[in-house]
Structure 1
């Protein structure tokens, strides 16, 4: 809801990760996005990065907005809620809300703290 009115129109999910100088680093995040698109045909899933890797979150949101997206869910692809997820990302999202008041932004907690992810990691580590 924005301004008391429910948002309608195209939706997107942004997988938000830290970024790295190593171009191979982004492969797992991109693989998650691709798997999501396979699971749900037509899902609009894109990746954005905090630093060192393109595209950054503002560029990604600007592109989605230009495509008509009016609801964006952001999943921080971090194992825990460190400084980036606790301070940097919320600040970025608030700036984006100010720039795009017609867009509904939903900021999820760090993916690594989701119960299903914790369960999968524990089972995987046990072999």
Structure 2
């Protein structure tokens, strides 16, 4: 049986309130895609990290995990740090099909949603 899961992966911040939109995003995911497990993970300053999030999904039976970087663009963290993290996680969990999407800010629909959001201000 193939149990799919998604990890919404953010940078992290010192201010705990920064986490709140990610919590809402995960809750929306759960409401709209209840058959696909979801976890949050952060690069730094917040927990869980990527490995811990994958482990929590493995414990509940995930066999396929897609990591979605909730970053606006492909900066140094996604170009340099993220591939190393993904590679280390794949080595630790070789039986898991692990993949990643581009940064959400690279998607045309996300960019259009930001334009639409700004346009509503007028």
Same structural fold, with TM-score higher than 0.5 when normalized by the shorter chain: yes
Given candidates 72, 76, 87, the residue that maps to 1:83 is 76
The equivalent of 2:44 in structure 1 is 51
Deviates more, 1:36-45 or 1:110-119: 36-45
C-alpha offsets along residues 39-65 of structure 1, whole Å, 9 cap, x if unaligned? 122331110001111111111111211
Q: Aligned partners of 2:112, 2:33: CA distance in 1, in Å?
A: 22
The two structures, once aligned, show a CA RMSD in angstroms of: 1.1
The equivalent of 1:61 in structure 2 is 54
TM-score (norm 1): 0.89
Equivalent residue pairs, number: 120
Structure 1, unaligned stretches of length 5 or more? Answer: 1-7
C-alpha offsets along residues 58-107 of structure 1, whole Å, 9 cap, x if unaligned? 11111211222110000000000101111111110011111111000111
Structure 2, unaligned stretches of length 5 or more? Answer: none
